Every structure is written in C-alpha cells, then in structure tokens.
Amino acid sequence: MPGDFDVRELLARWGLRPDKGLGQNFLVDQTILERIVEAAALTDEDVVLEIGAGPGTLTSLLARRAGHVVAVELDQRFFPILQSVLKNFTNITLVQGDILTLDPAALALQASRGYASGYKVVANLPYYITSAVLRHLLEASPRPASIVVTVQREVAQRLIAAPGEMSLLSVSVQLYGEPRLLFRIKPGSFYPPPEVESAVVRIVPHATPPVQVADTEAFFRVVRAGFSQRRKQLHNALAAGLGLSPDDVALRLREAGVDPSRRAQSLSLQEWATVVSALQGGRSGATSLLGGDGKGAAALDE
C-alpha cells in the first residue's frame, strides 16, 4: 500500500542513491510521517503544495487526506518512482522543477478547482534552502493558509525565538506569520540519517500584520544592518551596516526611546518598526538617514 513501502528497498530497486548535494534525507519513520500529516490538519476540501516529494512517502499520505496535492520535486530521477508509487491516486499533480523559480500560489490554485479557496504547504525541506523557501512562501500572493515544514532543529529554535534571542530569520518570519515548534525528530527517522536533529514547525501567516511597516524594503534593510554585527551595540551595528554616523544613529534612537547600547537580538518586532521610523525621520519630520537602495526580499537569506 502506498506510504508503507521500504524507501531503502525502493531506491535500490530503481538503482538510485540519495544525492547529498541536494540535501536528500528522506523520512522513513511512518509514525513521524503520520504526525506531520496530522499537524497539517487537512480536509478533503484542501489543496496541498508539497515541496520535495522524493520517493512519495509523504505524498501518498497527504493525498489520502486532502482534496488535491501538488507535489514538486527537483530531482527528475525520482519521477519514474513517483509515477509508479502514486499511480492509483487521481488527486495528485506532479511538477518537476525548482520551487524557488516557481510561483507557489499559482501552482496550488491551478489545482483548486472544486475545492475551498486557499492552499496549505507541507514540506520536508532540504536544510540548505530552508530560509530561501520560507521567504518564497511568505512573500507569495496569496500566502498559504498554513505551512508545516521539517527543518533543522537549530533553525526551528531560531524561528520561534523571543526578544533576547532574535535573529534576522526570526524577525523576518515573525513579521509574516506565527511559527510554532511542534515536535523534534531524531536522525534515525531519516534515510540516510542527517548529522543533526530535526524538528517540525507550523507557520500560520498573519491575517493582519503584528506591526505596521509602511516600507518593507527599508524595514529589512535596517534589520539586516542591525544583525550584521551582532556583538556590537545597536547604534554601532546600524551605523556600520548603513554607512551612517554612530552619533547620528544614537541620537535618533534616543529620541525614539530605544537605548542605543542594546543589541539587535534584544529588540521586538515593534521596536524594530520604531527604529526604522526613527531613522526615516519619525514624527519630528527630520531628514531620513536611509537611502532608497537595498532589497527587503533578501531578508530571510540568513
């Protein structure tokens, strides 16, 4: 029965080996696979976008719960396996390609005929592209209703960090959605086993942003500068990252009620919004210290 096959035996039968360069570590623990599907809270009205179908172990389980599954796989070697293993399912669309070059919303919504609007994402992400894929999904239009992903445990901890332990990644993700660590996964649940522990995280995009950010590009430019030299005090890190005078930055921060001697990791989302506003002139209408260059879209590439 699809979903209960032995991945090692299946790959051997097709003469395939996992590609380390593509970060291929396939989940083989049936209990964990079922927990991931449960975490996605699927109904037969849902369209699911799966990123990294691999040999189809998770794909088949998703197809049993969802109305339709769009399974994206970069490695074309796996398509004969997927077509064979999933041949009895009529609610799966296989897509060969790089998710980072595809429009996730368009892929999912093209398959949404007859189902509720919106889509959900489920993925066992290759760890080396985790940040880039999350950025791609959270900046999609429309965004997914929920994202359930398997990531490196250390990354999961950064995603859910609170002020005091924040990072560029946590600020960026939490601006767009609310992440929650659901459970951890031991290396032995994968084939081949990765060298680190993993964790499953659910991200629910905000219906309304937690802070008002008028200029997303400027916001991420400032945040990236603040985290560029984490050991420095905030005014020095911002000055170095933005090419400004430390004294000018310190003055603006004090006027906004933010201590210039703090470190970037201690600031909340609201405080980052306050810092950006202060550097742009704030309520005083002073001249903006920020130029117009910089790309906010790169914020998640940590």
Domain-wise residue ranges, the chain = 7-205, 216-298
Given a contact cutoff of 8 angstroms between Cβ atoms, the answer to whether 31 and 10 are in contact is no
Given a contact cutoff of 8 angstroms between Cβ atoms, the answer to whether 59 and 131 are in contact is no
Given a contact cutoff of 8 angstroms between Cβ atoms, the answer to whether 175 and 155 are in contact is no
Name the stretches of the chain with pLDDT < 50. Answer: 1-3, 293-298
Instruction: Check: pTM over 0.85? Answer yes or no.
Output: yes
What is the tens place of the pLDDT at every residue in 108-161? 888 766 566 689 999 998 888 899 999 899 999 999 999 999 999 999 999 999
- Whether the upstream peptide bond of residue 80 has omega within 30° of 0, thus cis, is no
Strands, sheet with 47-51, edge to edge from the N-terminal-most edge strand: 92-96, 68-73, 47-51, 120-124, 146-152, 198-205, 177-185
Residue in the block written with tokens 């998710």: 99
The confidence score (pLDDT) of residue 285 equals 58
Which one, of 224, 204, 196, lies nearest residue 302 by Cα? 224
Given a contact cutoff of 8 angstroms between Cβ atoms, the answer to whether 233 and 219 are in contact is no
Which one, of 291, 239, 283, 244, lies nearest residue 260 by Cα? 239
Given a contact cutoff of 8 angstroms between Cβ atoms, the answer to whether 109 and 119 are in contact is yes
Residue 146 β-bridge partners: 120
- DSSP SS3 for 160: coil
Q: Topology of domain 7-205, per CATH?
A: Rossmann fold (3.40.50)
The domain made up of 216-298 is a member of CATH 3.40.50.1110? no
